């Protein structure tokens, strides 16, 4: 079953007054206006905040439709979903506030995307609602921000190029963050603290978080041990030191689910991991050890109640984040190294022209929603998808033509 095209909206931004919601709303207004072919609206629980947001967008924004709905009001959420083809949600932490909207979308057959990076919550949503989503035709796509579009679509692009060049996909892919400049928002920190808090009290969850196939179908597993960087390590491909990449925990799982959703297109024994380049020589090594220690310290302090209050006191609060100037000054450059079973190698890169977690994420999330609304055939089955497995080349075109991303082959050998 698929939902008939509604007569009211193509998409609705839910949580429009959140930090990322404001960035996303500004991007949609600047890119698509409100009187053109795209019919869209903003939604949230506070009429006054939504009105303030509209007044900040620019001339003509006063006509932008507003829908009032609280994240805990099932009836209001369902009524909202019945008016649109797609809902984009920026209301996090999703493990605390996200389920009612997913449920409403599944029940009404409404397509949905978000920017969560909370793997434990994604797993719960898949377990609880995937069968119903398949029945109603709702296409649910999590992780449509910096986690995990550059990683997921970066691997998809590399594999496309490998198949053209080598005649086969790469069995092993490693992503390395060459450089990234950007700030962090209170919403992201709150989500990270919540994951650490849940894991501290749930041994089953800790085991799940260590499983790279935790959100894959049960039958999709590999007999090959998956790489997982835990500390400082030297990378011989780029001759630099590496440190763990905080987003790797979610990105790795999304990439593996993409492989599963594409019938193991990358191979049944496909391996993947992510890390940050920290430089060469002694300085690079010390930086790698420093980043590792800081990350472990943050997660440990967030998991323990006596120290959690201290973490929460000194990190950005929900609704806080980098300034518009800092967002525009940000950028990122990711490198992907893929190797086939017989040793052929391809190196590709993905770049973004804004702060990865916010300026760039707002654009990626907006184009993921537009892709769902306009590019995906109505008869594409419902269920829980990933950016690469559902949006594929349609999204790649939007990212490169509208969202400031580039995808390029650097080297083959």
**CA-to-CA distance for 278 and 244, rounded, in angstroms?**
10
Q: Is 169 left (phi over 0), alpha (psi -120 to 50) or beta?
A: beta
Instruction: Enter the tokens of residue 159.
Output: 């594999």
Instruction: Enter the tokens of residue 306.
Output: 């006596």
Q: Residue 19: how many CB atoms within 10 A of its CB?
A: 23
Task: Give 333-376 pLDDT, tens digit per residue.
Answer: 999 999 999 999 999 999 999 999 899 999 999 999 999 999 99
Residue with tokens 């903003």: 42
**CA-to-CA distance for 267 and 357, rounded, in angstroms?**
30
Residue with tokens 């605390």: 96
- Residue closest to 291 by CA, chosen among 352, 234, 230: 230
Average pLDDT over residues 286-298: 90
Residue 313 confidence (pLDDT): 67
Instruction: Enter the tokens of residue 114.
Output: 């978000």
Instruction: Report percent pLDDT > 90 for the chain.
Output: 75
Instruction: Report percent pLDDT > 70 for the chain.
Output: 93
**CA-to-CA distance for 38 and 199, rounded, in angstroms?**
42
**CA-to-CA distance for 180 and 150, rounded, in angstroms?**
12
Instruction: Enter the tokens of residue 8.
Output: 């009211």
Q: Residue 351: how many CB atoms within 10 A of its CB?
A: 18
Residue 5 confidence (pLDDT): 56
**CA-to-CA distance for 176 and 154, rounded, in angstroms?**
11
Beta strands in 217-322 (DSSP E): 233-235, 240-244, 271-279
Average pLDDT over residues 243-267: 94
Task: Give 112-141 pLDDT, tens digit per residue.
Answer: 999 998 999 999 999 999 999 999 999 999
Task: Give 205-247 pLDDT, tens digit per residue.
Answer: 777 778 899 999 999 988 889 998 999 999 999 999 999 998 8
Confidence of residue 1 (pLDDT cuts 50, 70, 90): very low
Residue 62 has pLDDT above 70, yes or no: yes
């Amino acid at each position: 079953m698929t939902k008939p095209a509604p007569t009211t909206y193509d998409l609705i931004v839910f949580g429009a007054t959140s930090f990322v919601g404001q960035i996303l709303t500004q991007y949609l207004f600047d890119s698509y206006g409100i009187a053109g072919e795209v019919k869209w609206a903003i939604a949230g629980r506070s009429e006054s905040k939504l009105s303030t947001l509209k007044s900040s967008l620019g001339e003509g924004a006063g006509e932008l439709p507003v829908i009032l709905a609280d994240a805990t009001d099932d009836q209001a959420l369902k009524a909202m979903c019945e008016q649109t083809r797609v809902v984009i949600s920026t209301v996090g932490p999703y493990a605390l506030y996200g389920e009612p909207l997913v449920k409403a979308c599944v029940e009404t057959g409404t397509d949905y995307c978000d920017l969560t990076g909370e793997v434990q919550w994604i797993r719960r949503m898949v377990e609880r609602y995937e069968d119903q989503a398949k029945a109603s035709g709702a296409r649910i796509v999590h992780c449509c921000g910096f986690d995990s579009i550059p990683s997921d679509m970066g691997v998809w692009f590399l594999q496309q190029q490998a198949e053209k060049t080598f005649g086969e996909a790469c069995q092993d892919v490693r992503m390395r963050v060459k450089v990234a400049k950007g700030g962090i928002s209170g919403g992201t920190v709150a989500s990270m603290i919540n994951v650490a808090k849940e894991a501290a009290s749930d041994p089953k969850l800790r085991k799940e978080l260590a499983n790279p196939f935790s959100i894959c179908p049960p039958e999709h597993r590999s007999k090959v041990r998956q790489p997982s960087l835990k500390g400082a390590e030297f990378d011989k491909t780029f001759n630099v030191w590496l440190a763990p990449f905080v987003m790797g925990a979610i990105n790795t799982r999304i990439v593996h689910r993409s492989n599963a959703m594409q019938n193991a297109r990358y191979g049944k024994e496909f391996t993947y991991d992510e890390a940050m380049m920290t430089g060469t020589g002694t300085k690079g090594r010390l930086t790698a050890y420093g980043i590792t220690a800081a990350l472990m310290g943050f997660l440990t302090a967030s998991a323990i109640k006596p120290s959690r209050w201290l973490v929460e006191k000194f990190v950005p609060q929900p609704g806080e984040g980098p300034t518009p100037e800092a967002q525009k000054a940000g950028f990122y450059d990711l490198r992907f190294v893929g190797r086939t079973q017989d040793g052929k190698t391809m190196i590709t890169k993905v770049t973004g022209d804004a702060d990865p977690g916010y300026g760039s994420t707002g654009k990626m999330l907006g184009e993921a929603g537009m892709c769902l609304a306009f590019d995906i055939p109505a008869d594409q089955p419902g269920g829980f998808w990933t950016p690469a497995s559902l949006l594929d080349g349609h999204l790649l075109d939007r990212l490169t033509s509208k969202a400031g991303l580039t995808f390029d082959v650097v080297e083959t050998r």
